[in-house]
Every structure is written in C-alpha cells, then in structure tokens.
Structure 1
Amino acid sequence: MIRNVKPLLAMPLFCLAPLVAGAAGADGSPLPSDYVALRPSETVQLPSRPVDGAKAFLAYVTQDYLLMNWTGLNAYVWNGLTGGGVLPNPLAPTAVNTWSGNAVTAVPVGTYLQSFGYTTNPADMGGAAKTCLWDVQVTQTGGVCTGTITTYALGTQGVQCLLWNGSAVDPNTCQAVVGVGLQ
C-alpha cells in the first residue's frame, strides 16, 4: 500500500519544485520540509486531491486558511477574505514549524479569487517591512476544480512567502485548504 501511495504524494511536489526560490529561510536557516518558499510574482498550481472532510454543497464551499508568522514581529492584515472569514489581526509570531492562526470562509461554488496578505508595518508595506500578499484562485471548468496561488513579496527587510505542502483544492467540491506564511 505504501509503495503505491508514494508516487501520488510526490507528484504535487514536482509541480512546486521548479518554482520555489530555495530551501533556506530569510535568515539562511533551512526551512522545514513541509514548506516551500515561493518566488515573488510567480503562479504555482495547487495540488488537486480530495480534502479531508470535504462535502459537496449546493451553493457554497469552505476555504480553510492556515497561517504562519515566523518573522518575530506582529503581522497585520492587508485586505480581508471575502465570504465572511476573519483573518487574525494582528497575527502573532510563533516558533518555526508552528501555525500562528487560521481562518475559514464560505464562498460560492465555482470560480473565485481571494486576495489577502500580512505585513509587519502597515504604514510602509513596501519599505521598512516584511510583507507577503497572496492571490488564491480556484476555478471550476467542466465540473472539475483546480487552484493556483500567486505570491507578492514587498519590503526592504527580507521576507520569504511560504506555502505549506499540504495545501490542496478538492477537484470534486472546490473546497480549498491553503497554508501560507511569512518569514
């Protein structure tokens, strides 16, 4: 059984591998193997696989966002989630390899875009700050759901925008589980 599962688990990582910026944190320390640092302004295909607990809904589907703040500073929300989800604000820093917070939102089934982010300095997001912005796009075509994520890194303090390897979009229900963070 395990032999048959390994190729299925490896395939989503092959999609991410060419687009990662490197395997080191912003301070040069190695990143935990569950996360990849994304190159700014590049779009990455989210893995398509069944999401635990996903259920078909008539009109709405949930998006679960897991959030990491490994900057050592409070991070503040830039733009909120549509669909009623509330992002933690501020997002307190935590130790590497731990989640800082989460948010759940409900959106209409089909194609939708979430644009949100965090910054350590809301008064100067592109200057003396560590800022990550994410666009999460889920598209339904021919009854099959797929997803992409694009990240934008801003600020002069050296930030890496992270994606959790467990992120995915359910191809049947459009439910998304996305883990993102900044370091």
Structure 2
Amino acid sequence: PYEFPWQVSVRRKSSDSHFCGGSIINDRWVVCAAHCMQGEAPALVSLVVGEHDSSAASTVRQTHDVDSIFVHEDYNTNTLENDVSVIKTSVAITFDINVGPICAPDPANDYVYRKSQCSGWGTINSGGICCPNILRYVTLNVTTNQFCEDVYPLNSIYDDMICASDNTGGNDRDSCHGNS
C-alpha cells in the first residue's frame, strides 16, 4: 500500500465516485488529463489523496475541494493533443510519508526503452465496470512514438504524448478507462 503517494482519485461529489486519476504536483496543484476535466465545474468535483483501498477506513485519506480547473488552451478533443489540465485545491494538501508530490521528469533525458508504471482505479478490462476498490498498477516500457504510429495507424501520435507498451504486441497489460 501507498507505493504511489502522488496518486489522486478525481471524484464526482454527488456520488463520491471515481472518474479519473491525477498526480500531485505540489501542495495546491494536481495534474490530470484534459479529457477528464473539460466542462467539469470545480464545485462538483473533489480530489482524494492518500487512498489505497476505497472500501476500507483510512487515517491517511484526505478529501479536498477544488478551487479551479485549467484545461490546456490548445487541447484538441478529436486528436487528444495537449490532453492535460491542472486542478487547484481549495486548501493545501498535507504531505506525509504516504502523500506527496510526483517527481517531474528531466526534460534533458530521453525515457524511451525505460520502464514506467501506470497506476489508478481504472477499469480492469476494456469495457469493464469502473472501478476496483484497490489501487492497481502496471509496469510498461516507454516506446518510441513511431512504434505507436505503427500499432495505431488510424490515431495521430503527437510529440507531447508518451507511448508505453508491454512490447509483446498484446493488450493484456495497459492503462484503461478511469486511469487518465
């Protein structure tokens, strides 16, 4: 538990239901996919940090109201280019051993062919029911964008996208709906 202290569950206040994932940047900001946040009203969304098992009581869990949501101004709903947003919390997130910010990648490094991990409460299989109670993760290899273009010839792959795969050509291990 708590292997990913930066993990955020983005939830609808009306049902307390998870609909997207995010990562803590600092004590007031969370990064999330734009396709999750476009059109969302801050008053209707909450952020849960310090979560591992959503069905269990927790002394670590913190729930935060949202002050504001900023979707990238060049986000394209058709191509998913610039699919990023930032969310400002109403009050600061309290950091401890189980809750903290993600480390930003060094832009000088090329991460192709390195292992990466994707975590979240997204569906376990395509078309499956969202969401499992336990935070899950998968280890994938960062691949070249050309690899993704070859595998997904009908999709546009842009430089701001990260392509990852299990390198087997299969789809048994991947992120899924709700992990964004």
TM-score strictly above 0.5: no
TM-score (norm 1): 0.23
TM-score (norm 2): 0.24
Query: Which has the larger strand fraction?
Result: 1
Greater relative contact order structure (CA < 8 Å, 6+ sep):
1
